[in-house]
Amino acid sequence: MSVGTSYAEVMARRGAIVRESIGLDYARYATGALAFDYERLLADTGYGLDEVRGIQAKTAVGNTPLVELENVTALARSAAPPGRGARIFVKDEAANPSGSFKDRRASLSIHEARRRGFAGVVAATSGNYGAAVASQAAKAGLGCIVVQEAFDSRGVAQPETAEKTRACEAYGAEVIRLSVGPELFYVFLRVLEETGWFNASLYTPYSILGIETLGVELVEQVRERTGRLPDVVIATHAGGGNVTGTARGLRAAGACETRLVAASVDLAGLHMASDRDFNRKSFTTGHTGFSLPFTTWPDRADVPRNAARALRYMDRFVTVTQGEVFWATQVLAELEGMERGPAGNTSLAAAFALARELPEDGIVVVQETEYTGAGKHPIPQLELARRMGVEVRRGDPHESKPGQSIVIPERPEQLEAPDVDLEAVRRSYLRHAAESLPAAALLTDADRAFLIEETRASADMVEEVLDATHPTTG
């Protein structure tokens, strides 16, 4: 029997399409009106940490080097008060097959797809994840389709996005390139339904479990090199998987006191779904256009429940400017001989600022790097910015205005990493949760306990926001 293909008809079938393409019945894990058993969802995949490490080792994923940035540390100390300036290390995830930590995310999804006899995999992404899925699918002998939001209505694509298209195609994937707008998820669902292939979503439990190995390796390597645990680990934050998986890995390795800091590029005022704003940003991921919406409501994902729950795991959330990331990219190349792409350098810019707050015997780890390539270099990104009417200059980076100006620091002491107000973020999450409820819904103690765990908020804050947003929940 034929089925309708209109936007409304496909969206009405989204639950069935996703369930068929992943094989997970998310309804089994609902334990209340809001409460959801994420731990059981992860456990029911059947993959333990040791098994995941073994799966990744077979395709050369993981066991990436930990590099101490001695010259960058020295520069940070030169701009810090006496006795301050922690040692800065970086986990060089560019050593993975497709050049980023997202090989870890893709590896377990591809393994599961092959184990269950799927002929291919489908992923919706504008970034490195598509290349990771394509790379792992090639190794497994599976077909691969990447659905990519690639350009604005005039056909203009960011150099970084075009570079990622090239990488996906190099691994043999078919890339469906779309303009910015709501059709991405619609096309993704249609491809899943028409092919019957596996849904290699960024937000499944397979993706999160794949990243846990990164946190574990990081702890093991720091302990081996220094005899102690890191004080701070900084993860570039977008959809939440990087923060969630890394933090879970840190805990699994015994680093429960290590602080996990999420870092994003500040793109306040730009709308990611806006055709006008799409190319007025110089970063396709790791920015507040993704990180704030996903932190305040993670279930805006392409699966019923996102296995990435960043607010549960972050101890601090900071931002850096676009200019500071470009500066960090240049410094890493010129001082350490490491030419790496922009995503990990978001965390490096934050690490440079935060290391100056800590004593010299402190340890800060930048949790990932990514490969660089023609479109990921600062020069083509800045050239596009200029073509879009964005001013590019040297000066105080905090004079930057996203979409209007990019100001690259002149001196190292100008780098800062201001905090995002986590209390405001928690309140926003709680409002979203309350607004998602049916009008007459009553919350149980399990729901309230779930919200406290989700947000790390106090019971009083949870009650206050629920009463103000959804008074019938009492």
What pTM was computed for the model?
Answer: 0.96
Q: How many domains does the chain have?
A: 3
121 shares a domain with 38:
yes
Q: Write the pLDDT tens digit of every residue in 361-415.
A: 999 999 999 998 877 888 999 999 999 999 999 999 999 999 999 999 999 999 9
Residue 447 pLDDT: 95
DSSP string, 209-238: HHHHHHHHHHHHHHHHHHSS--SEEEEE-S
Cβ atoms of 319 and 420 within 8 Å: the answer is: yes
> Over 80: is that where the pLDDT of 235 sits?
yes
pLDDT band at 309 (very low <50, low <70, confident <90, very high): very high
Comparison of pLDDT for 439 and 241, the residue scoring more: 241
**Pair 65, 77 in one domain:** yes
Examine the domain organization and report whether 441 and 386 are in the same domain.
no
Calculate the CA dihedral of residues 425, 429, 430, 431 and round it to 10 degrees. 100
> Residues of the chain with pLDDT > 90: what percent?
82
Closest Cα to residue 416, out of 424, 425, 407? 407
Q: Which of these ranges, 44-58, 168-182, 189-203, has the smallest mean pLDDT?
A: 168-182
Q: In this structure, are 115 and 234 located in the same domain?
A: no
2 is a domain residue: no
In a domain, 81, yes or no: yes
Average pLDDT over residues 423-427: 97
**Quick one: pLDDT at residue 473?**
55
CB burial of residue 271 (10 Å; 0-12, 13-18, 19+)? middle
Residues 67 and 109 in one domain: no
Shared domain for 70 and 35, answered yes or no, is no
Could you tell me if 195 and 210 lie in one domain?
no
Asked if residue 329 and residue 255 are part of one domain, the reply reads yes
Closest CA to 243 of 87, 75, 420, 109: 420
**pLDDT band per the 50, 70, 90 thresholds, residue 250:** very high
Q: Tell me the pLDDT tens digit for each residue of 65-87.
A: 999 999 999 999 999 999 999 99
Which structural domain, as residue segments, surrounds residue 65? 60-98+206-414
Q: How confident is the model at residue 264, as a pLDDT?
A: 97
Residue 128, in any domain of the structure = yes
pLDDT at 472: 59
Confidence of residue 156 (pLDDT cuts 50, 70, 90): confident
Which of 374, 391, 414 corresponds to the end of one domain? 414
